[in-house]
């Protein structure tokens, strides 16, 4: 399967990795939309949140913990930040490997575009 995030997990292409364990990886977005823009992914290939079920969703809890820790490390925990999971075509998903955007370091407007 030709998946850019699986290739990052397998170290076939480089990324600015900021966290890694057996199940989760976090790396800087190549096209940052905010001063802090990190992608947090399960190492297992899941296409979107629609692939999550009781057999594989424990990883989401870990991802939220990683997001908390990265928010603290990047000093955006108190000021605030946004966690975004674009899903499917209307959601603006372009990479079809589940990923959580951690965005911060500037004020985020609402509604999103
Ligand atoms: P989405 O539009 O929610 O699917 O987000 C995909 C994100 O992946 C975009 O913000 C891209 O900038 C980012 N991205 C794509 N390729 C890479 C890569 N090789 N390394 C880091 N980030 C990437
Ligand atoms: Zn993948």
CATH of the domain at 27: 3.30.428.10
Whether residue 42 has pLDDT greater than 80: yes
d(Cα 86, Cα 95) in Å, to the nearest integer?
9
Mean pLDDT along residues 30-59 = 98
Whether 13 maps to a domain, the answer reads yes
Whether 37 maps to a domain, the answer reads yes
pLDDT digits (tens, 9 = 90+) for 71-103: 999 999 999 999 999 999 999 999 999 999 999
Whether 112 maps to a domain, the answer reads no
Instruction: Answer yes or no: are the C-beta atoms of 9 and 58 closer than 8 Å.
Output: no
Q: Which residues contact residue 31 at a Cβ distance below 8 angstroms, ignoring those fewer than 6 apart? A: none
DSSP single-letter state for residue 50: G
Whether 58 maps to a domain, the answer reads yes
pLDDT band, residue 23 (cuts 50/70/90): very high
Whether residue 12 has pLDDT greater than 80: yes
Whether 110 maps to a domain, the answer reads no
Q: How many domains does the chain have?
A: 1
Whether 40 maps to a domain, the answer reads yes
What pLDDT, on a 0 to 100 scale, did the predictor assign at position 75?
98
Which residue has the least CA distance to atom 15 on ligand 1? 30
* Nearest-atom index, ligand 1, CA of 27: 21
Among 95, 96, 113, which is best to mutate for testing ligand 1, by the most ligand atoms less than 8 A from CB? 95
Whether 90 maps to a domain, the answer reads yes
Mean pLDDT of the chain: 98
Whether 113 maps to a domain, the answer reads no
Q: From ligand 2's centre to the CA of 77, what distance in Å?
A: 29
What pLDDT, on a 0 to 100 scale, did the predictor assign at position 53?
98
Mean pLDDT along residues 23-49 = 98
Ligand in closest contact with the CA of 91: 1
What pLDDT, on a 0 to 100 scale, did the predictor assign at position 80?
98
Q: From ligand 1's centre to the CA of 21, what distance in Å?
A: 20
pLDDT band, residue 1 (cuts 50/70/90): confident
Domain that holds residue 12: 4-104
What pLDDT, on a 0 to 100 scale, did the predictor assign at position 15?
98
């Amino acid at each position: 399967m030709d998946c850019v995030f699986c290739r990052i997990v397998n170290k076939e292409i480089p990324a600015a990795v900021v966290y890694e364990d057996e199940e989760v990886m976090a790396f800087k977005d190549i096209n940052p939309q905010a001063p802090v823009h990190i992608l947090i992914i399960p190492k297992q290939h899941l296409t979107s949140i629609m692939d999550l079920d009781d057999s594989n969703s424990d990883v989401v809890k870990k991802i939220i913990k990683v997001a908390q820790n990265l928010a603290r490390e990047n000093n955006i925990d108190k000021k605030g930040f946004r966690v975004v999971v674009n899903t499917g075509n209307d959601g603006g998903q372009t990479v079809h490997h589940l990923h959580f955007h951690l965005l911060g370091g500037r004020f985020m407007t609402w509604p999103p575009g």
